[in-house]
Amino acid sequence: MKQNILKVCAVFLITTAFSACSKNDVNNNGNNNPPKSVYVAGGETVGSNNVAKYWKNGTPINLTDGSKNAGVASIYVSGSDVYVSGYENNGSKDVAKYWKNGTAVTLTDGTKDAFANSIFVSGSDVYAAGYENNGANNVAKYWKNGSAVSLTDGTKAAYTLGIYVSGSDVYVAGEESNGVVNNVAKYWKNGSAVNLSDGTKEAVVTGIYVSGSDVYVAWMERTSSGYYRAKYSKNGNVVNLSNGTQPAATGRIYVAGSDVYVGGYEYNGSKSVAKYWKNGSAVNLSDGIKDALAVGIYVDGSDVYATGYEYNGSIATAKYWKNGTAVNLSDGTKDTGASGIFVK
C-alpha cells in the first residue's frame, strides 16, 4: 500500500466516533436493536494512484476517480450523512479535504501539502484534524467547519492524528518535534498542549478518546533496541501494551465503559500480527503466517470491530474483523487498505 500507516492512517477508524442513534431506537417493525451497518474507510491502488473509498456493508463507494493520488484516514456517520477525511493530490500538492456523502469539501488551497487525518461531527459542526506544510515544516492544525486553527507555530515539525470533541472542548492528539531529534507525543485541549513523552525517545501518537473527564491517547515510543513499543495513556498515566522486544504499533483507541481497546500489530519474530488490546491484554486477529495489521477499532455492545489489511504475497487485502472473524473487502488482485470504521 502506498498509504503510510502512521501518517495517512491507513490506520484509523475513528476511534473518537459515536453513533448518532440511541440504542433505544427502534426500526420500522418496532423491534429493538435494528440491523447495524458497517462503514469502513480505505483505499485501493489502481494503476499508479490510490483511489479513496469507503465500504458500506462490504459494498465499495469510490470518493475519487483515480486520475490523481488520494487517500482517506477516518470515517464518521451522523444521522444519514457519511463523512470521510483524507487528501487528494491536485497534480503537484496534496490537498486536505473531507467528503460528505461523496461530495468533496476542500480544507486547504492546494499551494502546500496537507492532510486531514481524523474527523468528528458534533451537532452541525464538522471537525477535521491534520496538518499543513508551511514550506519548511508541517504545522499541526484542525479545521472547524472549514476554518483552520493552528496548534503549533511552524518552527518545528508537527502532526495531528486524532480529534475528539466533548461538549465545548476540542481535544487533538499528535506529536511535535523537540527541535533536536525526536518527536514528543502530546495532545492539545482547546489549543493548550499536554506532553505525554519527555522527548528523550521518538514517539508517535495514533488516536484519542475522551470519556467523561478522562483523556485516553494511543501512542508508541521507540526503545533502546530501535523498536517501537505500543502503549496508551489515561490522563497522562502510561500503560505499556508490548514489552519492546519486538516491533509493535498502535492504531486507534476506543473506550466502552471501563474497557479500553487499542488496535495495532506486533511482530512475532518474522511477521506482523494484527491484534487489539483490551485492557492491556492482546487479542490476535491474524495467525502470524502473513503480515497483517489492525488500524481502526469500534465497539458496539458486545461486538468488537477492527479494520486493517493482510498481505497475500505482495498484495494487501483490506478487511475488517468482527469478534475476531475476518471479512474481506477486496478480492486480493489489487493493493487495498482499510483505516477507519464506524458501526451504526
30 pLDDT higher than 70: no
Give the whole-angstrom CA distance, residue 333 versus residue 313.
Answer: 11
Which pLDDT band holds residue 181 (cuts at 50, 70, 90)? confident
Work out the mean pLDDT of the chain and round it to a whole number: 91
User: With contact defined as beta carbons under 8 Å apart, do 264 and 230 qualify?
Assistant: yes
**What is the number of other CB atoms lying within 10 angstroms of the CB of residue 79?**
9
pLDDT score, position 186: 98
25 pLDDT higher than 80: no
Which pLDDT band holds residue 32 (cuts at 50, 70, 90)? low
236 pLDDT higher than 80: yes
DSSP line for 218-240: EEEEE-TTS-EEEEEEETTEEEE
Total domains in the chain come to 1
Section 108-128 average pLDDT:
98
15 pLDDT higher than 90: no
- The C-alpha angle with vertex 317 and arms to 287 and 81, in degrees rounded to 5, equals 115
Q: Is 45 within the bounds of a domain?
A: no
23-27, 62-66, 322-326: range with lowest mean pLDDT? 23-27
Section 137-149 average pLDDT:
98
Give the whole-angstrom CA distance, residue 331 versus residue 69.
Answer: 21
Q: Is 328 within the bounds of a domain?
A: no
Q: Is 155 within the bounds of a domain?
A: yes
237 pLDDT higher than 50: yes
pLDDT score, position 180: 84
User: With contact defined as beta carbons under 8 Å apart, do 43 and 66 qualify?
Assistant: no
138 pLDDT higher than 60: yes
Q: Is 271 within the bounds of a domain?
A: yes
Q: Is 280 within the bounds of a domain?
A: yes
pLDDT score, position 33: 66
pLDDT score, position 19: 25
Section 95-120 average pLDDT:
98
In tens, the pLDDT along 298-319 reads 999 999 999 999 999 999 999 9
Q: Is 309 within the bounds of a domain?
A: no
Q: What's the burial of 288, exposed, middle or buried (CB within 10 Å: 0-12/13-18/19+)?
A: middle
Sheet containing strand 114-122, edge to edge, reads 114-122, 125-133, 138-144, 147-150
In tens, the pLDDT along 259-290 reads 999 999 999 999 999 999 999 999 999 999 99
pLDDT score, position 35: 84
User: With contact defined as beta carbons under 8 Å apart, do 258 and 240 qualify?
Assistant: no
176 pLDDT higher than 70: yes
17 pLDDT higher than 50: no
In tens, the pLDDT along 33-48 reads 678 999 999 999 999 9
161 pLDDT higher than 70: yes
User: Could you tell me the CATH number of the domain that includes residue 192?
Assistant: 2.120.10.80
Domain that holds residue 238: 74-290
In tens, the pLDDT along 198-230 reads 999 999 999 999 999 999 999 999 999 899 999
Q: Is 327 within the bounds of a domain?
A: no
Q: Is 51 within the bounds of a domain?
A: no
